[in-house]
Structure formats: C-alpha cells, structure tokens
Amino acid sequence: MDLNKEKIDRFASDKYSFNDYLSVLSYFKNEDFDEGLKQCLDNDWNETENQGGNTVRLTKVLDRLHGQITENKRIKENSFSYLYRIFSKVAVVLLIPALITIAVLSYQTISSLDKASSWVEIHSPVGTRTKFQLPDGSQGWLNSGSSVKYSANFMKNRSVEISGEAWFDVVHINFEPFRVITPWFDVKVLGTRFNVISYDNEKTAEVILEKGKVVVLNKDQLVQSELEPDQLLVYDKSTKELTKTSIDSKTYTSWKDGFLIFKNEPMSEIARRLGRRYNAEIILHGDSLKSSIFRATFQDESLDEICKMLSTVAPIKIKIHKRDKQPDSTFAKGKVEMWLKNYKLNLNNNLPMKKL
C-alpha cells in the first residue's frame, strides 16, 4: 500500500474526512510507512518554509495534538473514575459492617463503663420518712436524714450502700444474694425484712432482723454473726465488738409506719432515737434521768408535743431552744435540754400507750 499524499494534505490542512483520519492514523501505526511519511513531511515543510502560513499551520497542528492528548487523558480519567467508584462501593460495603461492629462494641464498652461508674442515690430529708423501691422489686424506707445508694448496674450486683437508717423488704432471688454495705460491716441476705442503722455520728451501728435470716460479714467478707428473727446486733465502733440480743423487732422498725415505740427503755435510748428522728440534740442532765425507764408510744407527734407529754406525766423539766434560720433558708439542728425536778422519780414511769 502506498501513501496517499492527498489524504495527508487534507489532514494537515484540517479539512479531512473520517476516512482520511483512519488512513493517516494507519500510516503512523505501520512502520512500513515511516520512510514515506518522513519524506512527505520533509517535502511539506520545505514547500511552506518561506510562506507566512507556517505559524498558523503549526498552531492548528499543535491544537489538534493537544485536543487529542486531552481526549485521551479524559478517557483515562473517566476509566479511573469508574474504577474508583466501583472500588469505593465495594470498600463501603466491606467497611460498613466493620464500622457497625466498632460502633456497637464502642457503645457497649462506653455503656458498661457509664453503668459501672453511675450511681443512683435516694435521700430522705431531715424530719421525713421516704419510701423507695429498687430495680429488683425490693422495697424499703429511709428514716430522717438517711440515704441509700446503688449502682445503675444493680441487677448484676444487688448491693446498696446506706447512710443513716433504712428498713428493707428484700425480694428473694435464687443464688443472687442481696447485700447492704456500711463502713463497718456488710449484711448479706437472700430474702427477708430487716433494719440497718449506720449513722456516722453515732458510736454504734445496728442490724435488727424482723423476718428471715441475715449474715453479717466484716470488711474482709468473713462471717461475724448470723441473726434470727427478733434479734438485734450492735457493733461498737471503738472496740469493734459485736453484741447480739433478743428483742421485739417491732419496737425498732415501727418508725417506718410513723410510730416510735419504747418498751422499758432507758431515757438515754429514748433521747437518742428522738434526736435521730427529729434531727435534734437532746441533752440529758444527770445520770438519774439517763437511767430512768419508760414505756411510751408516739405516733407522728412533733418533738414539741412529745416534750410536752413527757413533762406532763413525769417530773421532767424541759427547755426547747429555738431553731436559728441559716443563710440558705434552712433551720439549724434542734436542741432540747432535760432535767429531773427536785423530787425523787419513780424509775418505772408509764406514759400513756397508744395501740398499734
């Protein structure tokens, strides 16, 4: 096949057909035409060397070459873009499950950490009683100024911490003991009703069992004592000794129902429980008054009313100090002083009893 000089000329002058384009393209692809193309181009150059159209023609040729290069580049870019999109879709399909897995694991980890470090606290204001219910259905009462605290992850670890006094009615769950934690000992139960007293400012801490069975452990989780119904365990904070006695548990747990029951109790014990219930400091002057024995039942009376009753039925002189209002609009802790009057007191005085 010979070179078609006319097709080459039309191509060079930018007046070619598609058929001319294919022919010229085949010339450049076939090595057999190299010499002919070289000779043709040399002749063309020599013919136009002294004409002023070289620059124009050269510009057209360069534009054409540039256009061709740009088109090839665009095709390559489009191919790359297509491959990239395909790869991206595949990558996303592969990545989404990984991201979901990571997100779930992260959420579970964060959620577990949040739960492990999160606490729920229920507080009973001074002068009130507060009923509460735990996530497992166990119920209880908080006495004045007391609180109960438990982890948000309670169902995996049925433990509560208390400050003050709390009464519990615990739901029995097989092999899942319920534990009350105090700074001095722990109380472990499976299902029962009991009372725990754990005030920071008192010399003793107590456990009163109303129904069921409880085990008292020291902070090393060693069993220190087991209680049966109607038993009281007193822990002396200074000596770390435990004393267990038989009692009528109702006289110790009736506070949750609004009653304060004292059966042959010394005035020192009555003053302690009244002070705890009404957030007051009750000062007894004289050992004789402290050791005086009383029987009494109070139901939701105020401290002023109780003091008035005491002074009416017994030779006791009482001074009630006015509560000072504090800057935060709350009132300071109450203060009551008591003395025996100047005559001999029968140590078995009976205050009027109210039937429960």
**Which CATH number covers residue 290?**
3.55.50.30
- The pTM (predicted TM-score) of the whole model is 0.61
Of 133, 173, 132, the closest CA to residue 156 belongs to: 173
Question: Which range marks the domain in which residue 324 is found?
Answer: 258-350
Confirm whether 270 is domain-assigned: yes
Residues 6+ apart with CB under 8 A from 207: 187, 194, 195, 196, 197, 214, 216, 227, 232, 233
Same domain, 242 and 168: yes
Same domain, 270 and 154: no
Same domain, 241 and 162: yes
Confirm whether 55 is domain-assigned: no
Question: What local confidence, expressed as pLDDT, does residue 87 receive?
Answer: 47
Question: What local confidence, expressed as pLDDT, does residue 232 receive?
Answer: 97
Confirm whether 22 is domain-assigned: no
Domain boundary among 210, 231, 251: 251
Compute the chain's Rg from CA coordinates.
Answer: 48
Structure tokens belonging to residue 350: 């009976």
Same domain, 183 and 243: yes
Position 8: which residue type?
I
Q: Are 166 and 196 in contact (CB under 8 A)?
A: yes
Question: What local confidence, expressed as pLDDT, does residue 32 receive?
Answer: 74
Same domain, 153 and 237: yes
Position 345: which residue type?
L
Structure tokens belonging to residue 98: 């990984």
251-277 tens-digit pLDDT: 999 999 999 999 889 999 999 989 888
Domain boundary among 215, 235, 251: 251
Per-residue pLDDT of the chain (356 residues; tens, 9 = 90+): 567 778 777 777 767 776 777 777 777 777 777 777 777 777 776 776 555 555 555 555 556 655 555 555 554 455 545 545 544 444 444 445 544 554 545 555 545 545 556 899 999 998 889 999 999 999 999 999 999 999 999 999 999 999 999 999 999 998 889 999 999 999 999 889 999 999 998 999 999 999 999 999 999 999 899 999 999 999 999 999 999 999 999 999 999 999 999 988 999 999 998 988 888 999 999 999 999 998 889 988 899 999 998 888 889 999 999 888 778 777 778 899 999 987 444 444 555 444 33
Which residue in this structure is represented by tokens 């097989």?
174
**Structural domain tally of the chain?**
2
Same domain, 245 and 132: yes
Same domain, 217 and 184: yes
DSSP percent split of the chain into helix, strand, coil, nearest 5: 40, 30, 30
Of 232, 182, 190, 225, the closest CA to residue 209 belongs to: 232
What CATH number has the domain bearing residue 204?
2.60.120.1440
Domain boundary among 251, 281, 311: 251
CA angle 141, 147, 152 (to 5 degrees): 95
Same domain, 240 and 268: no
Of 23, 1, 2, the closest CA to residue 10 belongs to: 23
Same domain, 226 and 138: yes
Same domain, 341 and 220: no
Same domain, 226 and 173: yes
Can you name the residues that pair with 293 across neighbouring β-strands?
A: 266, 348
Same domain, 205 and 167: yes
